[in-house]
Each structure stands twice: as structure tokens, then as C-alpha cells.
Amino acid sequence: MPASDLTAKSLAASAGLPLDVDLIRDQLAAKRLGTQFRYFVAIDSTNSYARRLAEQGAAEGEVVIAESQTQGRGRLGRHWVSPPNVNLYFSIILRPKLPPAEAPQITLMAAVALAETLEWFLPVPPVIKWPNDILVDGKKLAGILTEMSCDAEGVDYVILGIGVNLNYPLDLMPDEIRQRATSVFALSKKKISREAFLRRLIQDLDRCYGEIQGTGFAAIASRWESYFGLRGQRVRIELLDQVVLGTAQGIDRDGALLLEDDQGNLQRVIAGDVTLLE
């Protein structure tokens, strides 16, 4: 039997029951998010489906969740491995009252909420890798993908996509990600209720989203900084047309990464792919 077939059989054996969406909905205490759930056994991408809904006028707070994705996406078009019934893959439609220049703060807000949720389930605190990854011991545990539609007048919608490696055994991960990924199960040595985790995460997202809508990102900037794992570390940042090396210093009030380059200049990085240099 091919190794891929053996892995698939082993993964199916370790997987839990399908998500009980009714249980999540009934126990959810959120003001803005989780107004409606659209659940799929399999889908191409929760972000893609949520975008289609948003373009058709879907209300803020709708959640698209799937047991597996055939075309799950990470940042910069990377593939997000999405095996069924072990992890969480979902997207939320947001319609923030923010100017387009401040919309990237949604990613930073989501990272804070995700880190705060994970602390309840992990033996060690997680780390935020600017702008959209959650790490433990240098390995990726969760990721955030935000996609926006806006014009000069303001933001029409933001699709907030989140993937969390929850009950994914390390020995069943594909070779190409096993050395750089981890899961809550691998760290805590116990399986986690996906319903309990998702309910708490939506509530934390709802709270943090309300904070930045009310008083701006400054309300949670200090919490973001407390999870920031690259401060004082030498990093490589790939921008659209260049590569910059330097030392990460933190973020400014708008959420841009502050980088001291090798010439001693302090730069604001709005978007880029960050790699920690050993």
C-alpha cells in the first residue's frame, strides 16, 4: 500500500467527530460575530466562499467553516494543508468602519485574539510572527489570511480567514511541513474540543474587533507587543521589489513593523514576508 494511503488511513483513524455547529451557536456569547454559520464537509476555500457571500451582500459576522479544504490558501498564495476533522478552517465576513489604510490592523487584531485563545489550551505561551502567524518554539501553529475589498470611500468588506492546527498528530503531517509546523495536540499531549476552542476564539475575536472599532488599534497594541516574538531579532524581509535585512524593533501605532536596517535607519514595513535569520 502506498505511503500516502497509509497516512490517509491513519489520519482518518485519529480524526474526531464532525463539528457540532449547533452546540457552538447555542453557547456562543458574541455581539457581532457568529450571526450565521455556513458549514461544509469539504470546500475549495472558506475564504473564497466567504468572499462570494460578501460580494452578494452577506451581513457582517457570517462564518464559513469547513472540515477540509481542497484549495486552502495561506499568505502569498501558499497552500494550507487541510486534512478533515482534526483542525479548524474558517472565515468570517467583516464590514469594518475603518479607512482602507487602517484595514491591515484587522490581521494584527486577529493575531491578538488567536494568541489569547491559544493560551487557554497550551502549556507555553504562543508567539506572534508579524503580521499573521502564530508560533510555538519557532514552529507554525496557526495562520491568518485577510482579504479586502475597498475603494476611496472606505472598506466594503474584509474576509478574515483563520487556520489552526488543533488535533493534528505530528507524525501524520506531510514531510514538507512537519519540520516547521506543530499543533495544540502535539504541545498539550491531549485532544482539544474543537467546539470549545472555536467558541472561545470567536468570542475573543468579537471582543478585540469591538475594541479596534471603538478606540482603534492602540487599545490592543500593547497586548500585541507582549506576544511579539521577533523583537531584537535579525530578520530578512521580502518586499515587492527588494529584500531588506535588519533587526525587528516592534510595531508603530498603526501596526507597521519597525525595522532597523543594516545602515542604522529605522524603516516602517507595511507589508512583507518576514524570515527569522539564525
pLDDT digits (tens, 9 = 90+) for 248-271: 998 887 778 999 988 888 988 887
Task: Please report the pLDDT score of residue 72 as a whole number.
Answer: 57
- What architecture (CATH level 2) is domain 234-276? Roll (2.30)
Cell 492602540 belongs to residue: 218
pLDDT digits (tens, 9 = 90+) for 63-115: 999 998 886 554 444 555 667 789 999 999 999 998 888 888 899 999 999 99
User: CA 82 to CA 67: how far, in whole Å?
Assistant: 8
Taking Cα atoms as reference points, which of 31, 10, 60 lies closest to residue 160? 60
Task: Please report the pLDDT score of residue 118 as a whole number.
Answer: 97
Summarize the confidence of residues 241-248 as an average pLDDT: 87
- 10 Å CB burial of residue 35 (0-12, 13-18, 19+) is middle
Domain extent listing, the chain: 3-227, 234-276
- 10 Å CB burial of residue 11 (0-12, 13-18, 19+) is middle
Burial 178-207 (b: 16+ CB within 10 A, else e): eeebbbbbbbeeeebebbebbbbbbbbbbb
Count of helix runs (H) and strand runs (E) in the chain: 8, 12
Taking Cα atoms as reference points, which of 154, 68, 165 lies closest to residue 121? 165
User: Can you give the pTM of this predicted structure?
Assistant: 0.89
Quick one: CA dihedral 137, 138, 141, 144, positive or negative?
A: positive
**Contact, 38 vs 65, CB < 8 A?**
yes
User: CA 17 to CA 11: how far, in whole Å?
Assistant: 13
Task: Please report the pLDDT score of residue 217 as a whole number.
Answer: 87
Task: Please report the pLDDT score of residue 98 as a whole number.
Answer: 87
Could you tell me the end-to-end alpha-carbon distance of the chain, in angstroms, rounded to an integer? Answer: 40
pLDDT digits (tens, 9 = 90+) for 182-224: 999 999 999 999 999 999 999 999 999 999 998 888 888 889 9
3-227 CATH, one of 3.40.1360.10, 3.30.930.10, 3.40.190.10, 3.90.1150.10: 3.30.930.10
Q: Amino acid identity, residue 52? A: R
Q: What percent of the chain has pLDDT over 70?
A: 90
How does strand 243-251 pair with strand 257-261?
antiparallel
